[in-house]
Amino acid sequence: MSAGREVQFAGSIPETYDKYLVPLIFEPYAIDLAQRLAGAPLTNVLELAAGTGVVTRHLARSLPPSVFIIATDLSQAMLDIAAAAGTSRPVEWRQADALDLPFDAASFDAVVCQFGVMFLPDKVRAFSEARRVLRRGGVFIFNVWDRIEANEIPHTVVQTLAGLFPGDPPDFLVRTPHGYHDTAKIRAHLSASGFSTVNIQTVAARSRAASARISAIAFCQGTPLRSEIEARAPGRLAEITDAAEAALVNRFGNAAVDGAISAHVVVATD
């Protein structure tokens, strides 16, 4: 999820992200993306914004060993965690900017991106780059989060922070991860990039954690929301995380958390 220039996945954020946020919300959609490519006649696949490698690991397991996988991200810190975790078979990890891919034209059968395009400051340019490196007949497949109201756990966190900072609420989650949910806009950007066929499916899933504490840490400390909290309330990150936890307990109870999540899955071809 670290594709753009607007936010930084640095410091302790990448490790917290991988430990808490990946299993909380990314795992089911990583499985979905990998399954959509399984069985397709592929020779190589490029992944953009690979983050800490959740989709990469599923691609490595579901695609034949003959399919070569290159996983890229703008953040070397995220890639380092992904490489350390490893995959079931070799893949190539490479730092790369999705707006200026270091690959020749018509190099890949598929380009995949999980929850990364929302971070890209120039969507049309990035989509054009994905199309440039695709072979004729290749597929660009990615997912984006639906509106935040359709994602119960982060919505609860956002509402809590809005109450704590009424004059200047931290809005990273609304602005960026959940800020690119307009399917008409997505279609327009892909069309402007040269893609002629675009299919979009809204996929509902469940977000589960053993406790509200895990969910609160995931969002308050495992995303750039942490930087926004610390900028507004220096030294109070633990207190704000506690408040988010209390709100989640109030909504979901003291036991395991189980909330609705929703995302759009986009498949684009020439």
Give the model confidence (pLDDT) of 100-124 as tens digits: 999 999 999 999 999 999 999 999 9
First-residue to last-residue Cα distance in the chain: 26
pLDDT tens figures, 146-169: 999 999 999 999 999 999 999 999
Q: Where are the domains of the chain?
A: 13-269
pLDDT class for 13, splitting at 50, 70, 90? confident
- Give which of 222, 207, 220, 221 is closest to 164, Cα–Cα: 220
- As a whole number of angstroms, the distance between CA 28 and CA 158 comes to 22
Burial label, 156 (beta-carbon count in 10 A; 0-12, 13-18, 19+):
buried
Q: How far is CA 193 from CA 48, 174, 247, 269, in A?
A: 17, 25, 42, 11
d(CA 218, CA 57): 21
Residue 115 Ramachandran class (φ > 0 left, ψ -120 to 50 alpha, else beta): left
| Helix (H), strand (E) at residue 15 | helix 13-16
pLDDT average, residue stretch 246-255 = 96
Burial environment of residue 227 by CB neighbours within 10 A (0 to 12, 13 to 18, 19 or more): middle
Asked if the model's pLDDT at residue 266 lies above 60, the reply is: yes
Q: Say what the pTM is.
A: 0.94
- Do 20 and 222 form a contact (C-beta atoms < 8 A)? yes
pLDDT of residue 7: 53
Ramachandran category for residue 86: left, alpha or beta (phi over 0 → left; psi -120 to 50 → alpha): left
pLDDT at 26: 96
Res. 5: pLDDT tops 50: no
pLDDT digits (tens, 9 = 90+) for 166-223: 999 999 999 999 999 999 999 999 999 999 999 999 999 999 999 999 999 999 999 9
Task: Identify the CATH class of 13-269.
Answer: alpha beta
pLDDT tens digits, 25-74: 999 999 999 999 998 999 999 999 999 999 999 999 999 999 999 999 99
Distance CA(156)–CA(235), nearest Å, equals: 22
